Amino acid sequence: MKAQAAPRTPAPPAAAPAPPPRRSAEPAPGAGTTLAAVGLGTLLTLMAFTAPATTLAATARGLHCGPVAQTWMLTGTPVGLAALLLTMGSVADARGRRRTFAAGTLLLLVSTALAAAAPATGVFLAARILQGAASAAVLAAGLGLVAATHPSGPQRVRALGLWGATVGAGVAVGPVYAALLTQAWGWRSLYWGLALLALPVAALTAGVPESRAARPRRLDPAGAATLGAGVGALVAGFGESRGGWLHPAVLVPVGAAAVALAAFAAVERRVAEPMLDPALWRSPAFLASGLGALANGLALVGVFSYLPTIVQGVLGTGAVATSMLFLVWSGLSAVSALLARRLAPHLGAAAQAALGLAVAGAGQAALYGLHAGGSYGRMFPALAVGGVGSGILNAALARLAVSSVPADRGAMGSGANNTARYVGSALGVALTVSVVTAAHGSSPAAALAAGANHAFLLSAAACLAGAAAVLLLGRRAARAAA
């Protein structure tokens, strides 16, 4: 059947003939450059995020840090990330996704160089928080750019699978890269290297087409301030839990977070154009997206952030050997995220996320049995299973993040999804440290191993509970859409 011709309108005499309309299934112009820039930017942020995992001891020695400062080395970037991800997503949708992504890339370069040149602990920790703020802009705006240049359908599924693969690749490459450079040239070299890697991302960004919401919303400064303060204080409180959950250093920021988040909820109910529409909390698809990301951070990212410390303490391995554990887990995560697009015709995004959580939970359970003097290689099959599940999950969460919100608010959806992920990871690190250090044994290594085994089982249980909840919400969303 022929399409009805549109009414003719006069055109200037010198105007060139209009190009033929683009089919909706085709990527927009600049889609390839966008995917390359966003992929490399995501890779870089995850490398910066995981850098302290295998180099914490060397950095602490270089800066003469105590235990509290070492905790903040792990949690500084998550504080900046979690506090600003949703805000950056809303800013990107309203003021320009490319502009926000470019600003995040520039701040990532500057903050990483500041970390490399830091003369004292305070400057280094401030740089790590700035890295988190920069990463928030890159991650939130980046996924919005991919959604804007790749229409719904197989093209978007493939692009989001590639994006999910860069998440796994960043977690895989970051600890190995950091351990090798620290061993060769010292801990500062890894941050100088990350600053240099930001340059090609900035160069690619010049070729990315700008996009924003068709009807940009007003910015919500009161919502941004209360949410940022609340999430930042919550993550900071979790990071202080090493001294006990009832310590004032935990209770004060967590109490402040509760007040700020209550204020955020009140603000969002009153403003005409809220940053996070309260109606979304009644959407099963949006809830599935957030809950899946929270479970990912709590049960997987949180445990793996502390795994190098566990393995080095129990098995006595060095930083480079320990980083190989990340390479197995996250390398297979990247590969399975690329292949996960083959699941899309058969599984909805929520069902795929539930499958990923279940498989990852099986991998976590298989880690049980760690003991002093045990085999280093015994962990690899369990990590392989967990990596496959993590990749399936990452690809599904990217689909859920952009499909569970209105089409013109993709960056906000990405920000909300990643906020849940990094709040979960901060809580996961805190819980893992608490469980691991509370165990007893005949020796420090035996006590550490016993605590780790408890943490592995709790992680597996959290994965399975998350899988069940996401699957249930996905079915409710499907029924509502029918």
pLDDT tops 80 at residue 363:
yes
Question: Scanning the structure block, which residue is given the tokens 């369990």?
Answer: 382
pLDDT over 90 at 159, yes or no = no
What is the Cα Rg of the chain in Å? 22
HSE (CB half, 13 Å, CA atoms) of 10? 2
CA distance 327 to 172: 4
Q: Model confidence over 265-281: pLDDT tens digits?
A: 898 888 887 877 788 88
- The Cα 105–Cα 212 span in angstroms is 18
Of the chain, the end-to-end C-alpha distance in Å amounts to: 28
**Mean pLDDT value across the chain:** 84
426, 76 contact by CB (below 8 A):
no
Look up the pTM and report it: 0.77
What is the band of 113 on the pLDDT scale with cuts at 50, 70, 90? very high
In angstroms, what CA-CA distances link 9 with 5, 14, 22, 279, 355? 12, 15, 20, 41, 53
Token pair belonging to 99: 């502009």
Q: Which residue intervals of 64-208 are DSSP H helices?
A: 67-95, 97-117, 121-149, 154-185, 187-205
Q: What is the pLDDT of residue 23?
A: 43
Helices vs. strands in the chain: H and E counts, helices first: 16, 0
Chain position carrying tokens 């509970």: 465
- Do the Cβ atoms of 410 and 285 come closer than 8 Å? no
Report which of 190, 189, 266 is spatially closest to residue 225, judged by C-alpha positions: 266
Residue 276: CA count within 13 A, CB half-sphere: 30
Mean pLDDT of 342-349: 84
Closest CA to 290 of 412, 388, 170: 412
Tokens representing residue 191 in the block? 């941050």
**Contact (Cβ atoms closer than 8 angstroms) between residue 241 and residue 434:** yes
Q: Which residue has the tokens 């006595």?
A: 316
Lookup: tokens for 167? 């998440």
Q: List all residues 6 or more positions away from 48 whose beta carbon is below 8 Å from its beta carbon.
A: 77, 108, 112, 131, 135, 174, 194
What's the pLDDT tens digit per position in 278-319? 888 888 988 999 999 999 988 988 888 788 888 888 988 877
The angle that helices 97-117 and 187-205 make with each other, rounded to 10 degrees, is 160
Q: Is there a contact between 410 and 147 (Cβ–Cβ < 8 Å)?
A: yes
Domain range 31-203+220-481, CATH class: mainly alpha
CA angle 42, 84, 179 (to 5 degrees): 40
Q: What is the mean pLDDT of residues 395-412?
A: 78
Contact, 303 vs 360, CB < 8 A? no
- Choose from 85-94, 145-154, 193-202 the range with maximum mean pLDDT: 193-202
Q: Report residue 273: phi and psi, to 5°.
A: -130, 80
What percent of the chain has pLDDT above 90?
A: 30
Is pLDDT larger for residue 329 or for residue 3? 329
Give the domain ranges of the chain.
31-203+220-481
**pLDDT tens digits along 45-62:** 988 888 877 787 788 888
Q: For residue 21, what pLDDT is reported?
A: 40
